[in-house]
Amino acid sequence: MTLLENAPLAERLADKRGPWVKVAGLVDDGTFTPLFDDDDSGFLSGVGSIDGSQVVVFASDASVQGGAMGTDGCRHIVGAYEKALALSVPIIGLWHSGGARLREGVESLDAVGTVFAVMTRASGKIPQLSVVLGPAAGGAAYGPALTDIVILGPGGRVFVTGPEVVRSVTGEDVDMLKLGGPDAHGRRSGVVHVTTDSDDEAYGVARSLVSLLSQVGTADLASIVDGDLAACLPDTPKRAYDVHPIIDGLLDEGTSIELHPKWAPNIVTTLGRLAGQTVGVIANNPMRLGGCLDSTSAEKSARFVRMCDAFGVPLVVIVDVPGYLPGVGQEWDGVVRRGAKLLHAFAEAVVPRVTLITRKAYGGAYIAMNSKSLGATKVFAWPGAEVAVMGAVAAVRILHRKKLAEVPDGQRAEVEEQLAEEHERIAGGLDRAMELGVVDAVITPMVTKRALATAIAGVAARGDHGNIPL
């Protein structure tokens, strides 16, 4: 197997076998150059372009031993990674593979291990995307899981052990769809970031993500058209609402891609463009769990923050959070451990990151959602927003529980309200937060988009993000 630098395409394009069809659906016409001579490895790899941005692509051929990964096929993948690292460009894997080749035994296991090693070495240096178009089992399941973003096509299935093995070992009767399909990994496990209804849609999402991550760009402030986002909030502060319209109002039309929309939906993670510049948006969603943080949403957010930071993507954090979700289940599920990961992710991030408090930011969740103490570039708040350890009524029920216990039932609500007003004056709330400098400014919903974009544009990124431009 010989590494090629500028292989002619005419003969190879004439025979569009499985992997050629996959690659042709992904890259710009006429831009793909294979890296290796044709062989029976069951893999194709090469360099191409997506919307003018150079990428490296590899694809499995399911017609050759089910796309299983042998020593030669793994050399294709490792060679593709070495090329992508040398060029500092994104790499996309198109997966349909049964894992390591059985006939090669431990030799193929060792080869698959070299794929995992190079993927780990590339982590945080170049964007890694996986498009799973068929079953990806065993080692071919961990391959996509090691990458930054996993897109699942309609035929995609991801599992370490297949239904027959599960049935023989555990007695569980399950098929591939239930074991490793969109519900299993798009909603329950968090392995898959985006699920699609067609292969063409999967290619389109991959192309859009490559554009967002490789062409981050800079904000064109003159292009901003302000819109009043106040209508996105309900009339009463106690009502839940969906945060997606606020995100849509901030991002440029048609540019947003939500990652993990069904996994931990109480937090929303979206890539898109703000005044032409790629940003990552993290937002509490009061429509789910009241917007509380929990163990799963903390993990989801931390992963997203670290990915954006690695590739020089500024962050916009939209906060409306009553705190962490309480309960035995949360404690046992590692809310302390996973919540600490979110604190760590924000505190170590070096990209510009701007926070907007729309209604409330309480307790430890206030800190975790990109507070000033963790190094936020700017923290803005809408008029009437609350910043506190907890809501005033909840606070006085703790601070004045003995006094309230002596109040007749018919008068308790009135006394609570009076004590809550007094507590707000003493604790300070938003005014005190501005006095301390933990909130930089109160802005109106009408000027929010411009304020956020201006804050990001005014900050040069700190740290080394390789050759991926801010």
The angle at the Cα of 233, spanning 270 to 451, to the nearest 5 degrees, equals: 60
Q: DSSP state, 184?
A: I
Amino acid at 351: V
| 206 in active site | no
Catalytic residue among 155, 227, 364, 429: 364
Question: Do 265 and 285 form a contact (C-beta atoms < 8 A)?
Answer: yes
What is the C-alpha separation between 265 and 103, in angstroms, rounded? 43
Q: Quick check: is 272 catalytic?
A: no
Choice among 139, 181, 280, 391 that is catalytic: 139
Q: In degrees rounded to 5, what are phi and psi of residue 362?
A: -115, 145
> Buried (b) or exposed (e) across 189-202, using 16+ Cβ within 10 A?
ebbbbbbbeebeeb
Residue 365 a catalytic site member: yes
Q: From the candidates 18, 42, 66, 138, which is the catalytic residue? A: 138
- Cβ(162)–Cβ(169) below 8 Å: no
**Euclidean distance between CA atoms 386 and 42, whole angstroms:** 58
CB atoms within 10 A of CB 449: 21
E-state strands within 179-300: 194-195, 257-259, 267-274, 277-284
Q: Which of 365, 376, 385, 433 is catalytic?
A: 365
Q: Find the helix packing angle between 18-26 and 199-214, rounded to 10°.
A: 50
Taken as a whole, the chain contains a residue count of: 470
> What angle (nearest 5°) sits at the alpha carbon of residue 424, between those of residues 421 and 430?
135
User: CA 280 to CA 469: how far, in whole Å?
Assistant: 15
**How far apart, in whole angstroms, are the C-alpha atoms of residue 153 and residue 194?**
9
> Do 47 and 33 contact (CB within 8 A), yes or no?
yes
Which one, of 281, 286, 280, 346, lies nearest residue 321 by Cα? 286
364 is catalytic: yes
Residues catalogued as catalytic: 138-139, 364-365
